[in-house]
Amino acid sequence: MSQDLREYQQRGLISELFAKLSIFQSLIATARVPTIVRALSKSASLFSRPESSRESEARRAKPFLFRLLEDRVDSIDARLLLEEVVREAEPLPFAVSVVLSCHRWSGALSLRINEPAYLAALRRIAAKRLFTHYVQDDRNIFIELPESEWRFVLYQWGTDWMTESGENREIVQGYVMNLIDREPEYLGRLLHSFMQRGPLAEEEAFSFKEFSQVYDPEAIGDRLDRYGDRALTNPEERKAAELFRRQYQTNVSQRESTE
């Protein structure tokens, strides 16, 4: 199964394969579902990314995976297989995105994965993998992943998959601050990754609210003062830092006026 997926991917036909499998998934024997799910997990590193692209193969693989689990196995087996995917799938961004998709799809699925306790369990499995891989094994996410992926992984991990439980925020913040203290240039990259286009195409804005859900603005401001030009290596990063400072000062002033 894994070899078949590799061959289809090399021929540029993997997206077409998922589309056809979705049409005929009702003919897939229940006993074969675990094999298919595990093959998808092991082959996820072959799929084109980033996940944000509508044309990415990883993005097309997940709907097939979820519909297969919904239609062809009972809810208990589906939940166990999802846990296995999150625990074993490579690369890590794919596992992270599966957890996020479980939250987004839970309202439409009949897998009973919309139970808060089950979703929390999936988040803990993914968070443990991330902690082991990046914190305990001392790996550098800024080197290991492209910007679109490290931003996605750190944001989902730090916000506990946008639940804002606070469970992982301190871990993520400590991990990232440690990397910045080793290599100050990562601060500029981090700030720039939160730049977004404004209402007008030529405008750019800094997503301060989203940024603050993961990172402590005061700690970031302190490091900007401490490292200066060492943290900002190009005009785009300097602009991001300027917009961050401006919004940070506005927030501080508003907070002081209400006290």
**Tell me, what's the pLDDT at 22?**
78
**Tell me, what's the pLDDT at 108?**
47
**Tell me, what's the pLDDT at 259?**
63
pTM of the model: 0.87
**Tell me, what's the pLDDT at 198?**
61
**Tell me, what's the pLDDT at 202?**
60
**Tell me, what's the pLDDT at 106?**
54
Separation of alpha carbons 74 and 193, rounded Å: 41
Residue 63 burial (C-beta neighbours within 10 Å; 0-12, 13-18, 19+): middle
Nearest in space to 147 (alpha carbons), one of 113, 186, 109, 118: 186
Secondary element (H or E) of residue 105: helix 92-105
**Tell me, what's the pLDDT at 56?**
66
**Tell me, what's the pLDDT at 107?**
52
Per DSSP, the three-state class of 50 is: coil
**Tell me, what's the pLDDT at 83?**
94
As a dihedral over the C-alpha atoms of residue 116, residue 122, residue 125, residue 127, rounded to 10 degrees, the angle is -80
Q: How far, rounded to the nearest angstrom, does the alpha carbon of residue 14 sit from its chain's CA centroid?
A: 22
DSSP 127-189: HHHHIIIIIITT--HHHHS-HHHHHHHHHHHHTTTTT---TTHHHHHHHHHHHHHH-THHHHH
Nearest in space to 61 (alpha carbons), one of 29, 31, 95, 84: 95
pLDDT, tens digit only, all 259 positions of the chain = 778 888 887 888 887 888 788 788 888 889 999 999 998 888 888 776 655 444 567 777 788 888 888 888 888 888 899 999 999 998 999 999 999 988 876 554 555 566 788 899 999 999 999 999 999 999 999 999 999 999 999 999 999 999 989 999 999 999 999 999 999 999 999 999 999 876 555 678 999 999 999 999 999 999 999 999 899 999 999 999 999 999 999 988 877 667 6
**Tell me, what's the pLDDT at 208?**
95
Q: How far is CA 236 from CA 31, 194, 222, in A?
A: 53, 11, 20
Identity of the residue numbered 95: A
